[in-house]
Structure 1
Amino acid sequence: MTDSELAESRTPREPSSGRRGTNLPRMGDYNSLVVLDRIRRSRAGISRVEIAAATGLSVQTISNLVARLLEEGMIGEGARAGVGRGKPRTLLHARADAAHAIGLHVDPLTITFVLLDLTGAVVHRVLERTPERLEDAIALMAERVVELSVRVPAATLRGLGVAAPGPIDAVEGRVVHPPLLSDWGDVPLRSRLATLTGLPTILDKDVTAAMAAELWQRHHDLGGTTLFSYLGYGVGFAFAREGELLPGSSRNAGESGHLIVDPDGPECFCGRRGCLGVSSSLEHLISRGVALGVLEPFDGEPEPWQEDVAMSRLAEKAEAGDSAALEILRTAGRQIAHGIVLVADLLDADRVVFGGLNWERLAPYITAAVTAEFAASGTMRELHEVAVEGSELGPWVGAVGAASLVLDEAFTPKPSALVAQLG
């Protein structure tokens, strides 16, 4: 086999979540991203000497890389500060206006849009009710994205991230039969929006995007293994290890809705009973509320907004002490907790983060149940604790995550990609 044939044999034939063709970064580019990432994560500023100590790179290498990033306008120099012994050192910081990304999250009830800067801060955000017709929804998305794009210089806008309910076809950029979006059978959403907006566009699952939001927002040094649980109209999971997303071979990791959490629970469309997805779904919780007289029955098939209103009403009654409403949500909390512990044990996770449109309403019933479940039956309970936290991004976590995926693709150093290149 010739050298050219060998090189060709190592080239992927189609995109995947691991190898991404021949465009992997050179070592110098990787080191530059390592330095930029360290500067970005240090919100108070960081000196060249501190970067060298944190990264293991030589002071001369750091000096060269910093000079390059300064010239490119990605970072700036700030005040001088005393750091340990010796003369005060110049602190470096990421320039927020050096890069931007737009994110949108589509779900059955709302479409949320955000514009982020390089630091992950939200520059602008918009919320719209999801139109019933697919074409109306796509037109609305494109219109709002274009409106956001003109708020920043075109040269700084890195692209558009789109978060949607899974499963998705990441290679083709298609949304595949998302739940409760009846008009969305098999939609090439990535190419449609890229054509209408003129922006490089990526598509990912909403729960994967939510995990990316955590990596770029609140947990700026998120290490270990993290499980994100997204609670919307159902439940989904995403994973990260040492600050890097683990999306799976088709970017559909976390589809765990068919874990059995209650053998006597509601029947699932798969034919079994008590699957996590159906047991924790808004539809099931609301139907239980109607059956027990906590909620008024619907006149016909409810719209997503009507289910959302009913879920809020159920949570309000539980908070007011209604015994039937409390039992419904406590049961849901225990069942979700059981599923969480099963998945966390498989991953050996040391942190669980919750978020999504239904998280705040279920938080009082899930947090205590998850903590108790880990203490009673978590496999790793004798080796390490598992932190249980809630996302602080509220209903914006999906859109923020979608934009964060764009920034992550451009600016996060990924050891797995470097290893693939060296291999």
Structure 2
Amino acid sequence: MRTGTNLPAIGGYNQAVVLDAVRRSPEGLSRTEIAENTGLSAQTVGNVTRRLLDERLVDETGTVSVGRGKPRTILQLRGQGGFAVGVHIDPAVITYVVLDLRGSVIAHSRTRTPSAQEPAAVIRLMAHAIRSLVDDSGVDPGLVIGVGIASPGPIDAEAGTVLDPPMLDGWQSVPLRAALSEATGLPVLLEKDVTAAAVAELWFARGPSRSDFAFVYYGTGFGIGLVVGREVIRGATSNAGDAGHITVDPDGPECVCGRRGCVGDLITPRSLVREAAAAGVVSPVPGASAHPPDMTAVGNALHELAASAGAEDEAAVRILRSAAHRLARALVVIANLLDVDEFVFGGPFWDDIGDALLAALPWAVESSPARVSRRSLSFETSRIGEDVAAVGAACLVLDHAFSPRPSAMLISV
């Protein structure tokens, strides 16, 4: 019986170790270097690389001379050896990507999130969009390893269920993983969107960077993806990172949770747009107060707000500077709690206001008297772009397919 939970293994544990070592060295590695990096014997590396070549997962791409010995043959990951699909569900848009084994995006599409409240209809549309994207990309469907979904929380990762995401009416206890697997015929993984975004940043990190960081997700909602010691923090129920109810203004408006001044209530796009309309910076957006909100109208108004701030409109600048200081108070809490030293920003709506917020945010965080550590922090926008959560969802598929896990050596019954 299909469960949609177990991805096909590309190989055994040693094979995964070798693949992971080659993946982390885009310039390629020789068999000798693989043995040195992994601790595997030369014979084991030889046997594994022979299988990987036969399965067309790696290529021999040239030789390099080291001393007087025989030139070493370089092995590199073969991007076309397999593919993964990533899907990000945001209340405003659904984003789809196809990644090759190297993590390169080879196809991409985006559609408005359907307003229909019937999840089954939306899932059918998602399955059709996935098939169309794979077909349009020219990828052999037989080489698609699986589908990763980045969904708003809360989720039940073990059951593959979306529990009750805000602003997605009718999506209570939806068995999304099983339903999409049935509709596509592919294995499916489900992850919280902010966690998927953090996975993407970790996957593409090079060198010592991205070891302890928080991914600040700015979409229809606000959340934090967490990485400590190069490990993604998911929590007991895979719902870590729900930071929207950190109080940043005790005298602020009442949040739906009953408290006042929650950061997620104050800095989200629809909140900033309502504030801008009240200040006369943008025209009123009736859809901003709807449930669910008209995020297309909100996005257009947010873009207008950012443009006004860029033109040095005083009211617009004041609104975004205030948002930066409110966000800074929340980030100080995160920095103190987890001792992270990097903040990475991204999401569907970050590009509009990111530059304006980053003009004030670092100083507001660094100068806060509430900060415990005095170590300098890093603040930067994700280089992956607004599709970061969808890319992260696809990276999860690749990670499960060929990243080494000691549990792979255990006997299953």
TM-score, L = length of structure 2:
0.88
Residue 87 (structure 2) pairs with residue 104 (structure 1): yes
Residue 62 (structure 2) pairs with residue 79 (structure 1): yes
Q: Contact between 1:165 and 1:206, CA under 8 Å: does it hold in 2?
A: yes
Take 1:323 and 1:165, find their aligned partners in 2: how far apart are those partners? 34
Assess, with a 3 A threshold, how the Cα gap between structure 1 residues 280 and 82 changes in structure 2: closer, same or farther: farther
The aligned residue for residue 363 of structure 1 is 354
Assess, with a 3 A threshold, how the Cα gap between structure 1 residues 197 and 38 changes in structure 2: closer, same or farther: same
Assess, with a 3 A threshold, how the Cα gap between structure 1 residues 420 and 322 changes in structure 2: closer, same or farther: farther
Assess, with a 3 A threshold, how the Cα gap between structure 1 residues 380 and 299 changes in structure 2: closer, same or farther: closer
The aligned residue for residue 120 of structure 1 is 103
Assess, with a 3 A threshold, how the Cα gap between structure 1 residues 210 and 149 changes in structure 2: closer, same or farther: same
SS in 1 for 2:298: helix
Q: Give the CA deviation at 1:202.
A: 1.2
Q: Contact between 1:103 and 1:403, CA under 8 Å: does it hold in 2?
A: yes
Residue 331 (structure 2) pairs with residue 340 (structure 1): yes
The aligned residue for residue 146 of structure 1 is 131
Residue 63 (structure 2) pairs with residue 70 (structure 1): no
Q: Give the CA deviation at 1:190.
A: 1.4
Q: Give the CA deviation at 1:393.
A: 2.4
Residue 142 (structure 2) pairs with residue 169 (structure 1): no
Q: Give the CA deviation at 1:221.
A: 6.4
Question: Can you list the C-alpha shifts for 1:336-358, whole angstroms capped at 9, x where unaligned?
Answer: 12212221222221322111012
Q: Give the CA deviation at 1:86.
A: 4.4
Alignment of structure 1 residues 373-384 onto 2, 5 Å = 373-377=364-368, 378-382=371-375
- The amino acid across from 1:236 in the alignment is G
- The amino acid across from 1:210 in the alignment is A
Unaligned runs of 5+ in 1: 1-14
Q: Give the CA deviation at 1:161.
A: 0.9
SS in 2 for 1:187: coil
Assess, with a 3 A threshold, how the Cα gap between structure 1 residues 85 and 54 changes in structure 2: closer, same or farther: farther
Take 2:364 and 2:36, find their aligned partners in 1: how far apart are those partners? 40
TM-score, L = length of structure 1:
0.86
Alignment of structure 1 residues 253-268 onto 2, 5 Å = 253-268=240-255
Assess, with a 3 A threshold, how the Cα gap between structure 1 residues 139 and 413 changes in structure 2: closer, same or farther: same
The aligned residue for residue 42 of structure 1 is 25
The aligned residue for residue 174 of structure 2 is 187
Residue 303 (structure 2) pairs with residue 320 (structure 1): no
SS in 1 for 2:367: helix
Assess, with a 3 A threshold, how the Cα gap between structure 1 residues 81 and 211 changes in structure 2: closer, same or farther: same
Unaligned runs of 5+ in 2: none
Residue-pair matches, total: 397
Q: Contact between 1:180 and 1:304, CA under 8 Å: does it hold in 2?
A: no
Q: Contact between 1:102 and 1:148, CA under 8 Å: does it hold in 2?
A: no
Q: Give the CA deviation at 1:252.
A: 0.6
The aligned residue for residue 265 of structure 2 is 278
Take 2:177 and 2:252, find their aligned partners in 1: how far apart are those partners? 37
Q: Give the CA deviation at 1:231.
A: 0.7
The aligned residue for residue 38 of structure 2 is 55
- The amino acid across from 2:221 in the alignment is G
Take 1:220 and 1:266, find their aligned partners in 2: how far apart are those partners? 44
Q: Give the CA deviation at 1:247.
A: 1.4
The aligned residue for residue 234 of structure 2 is 247
Assess, with a 3 A threshold, how the Cα gap between structure 1 residues 83 and 379 changes in structure 2: closer, same or farther: farther
Q: Contact between 2:252 and 2:261, CA under 8 Å: does it hold in 1?
A: yes
Q: Give the CA deviation at 1:405.
A: 1.0
Aligned sequence identity (%): 44
Q: Give the CA deviation at 1:69.
A: 2.2
- The amino acid across from 2:201 in the alignment is E
Cα-Cα RMSD? 2.7
Alignment of structure 1 residues 299-314 onto 2, 5 Å = 299=286, 301=290, 303-314=294-305
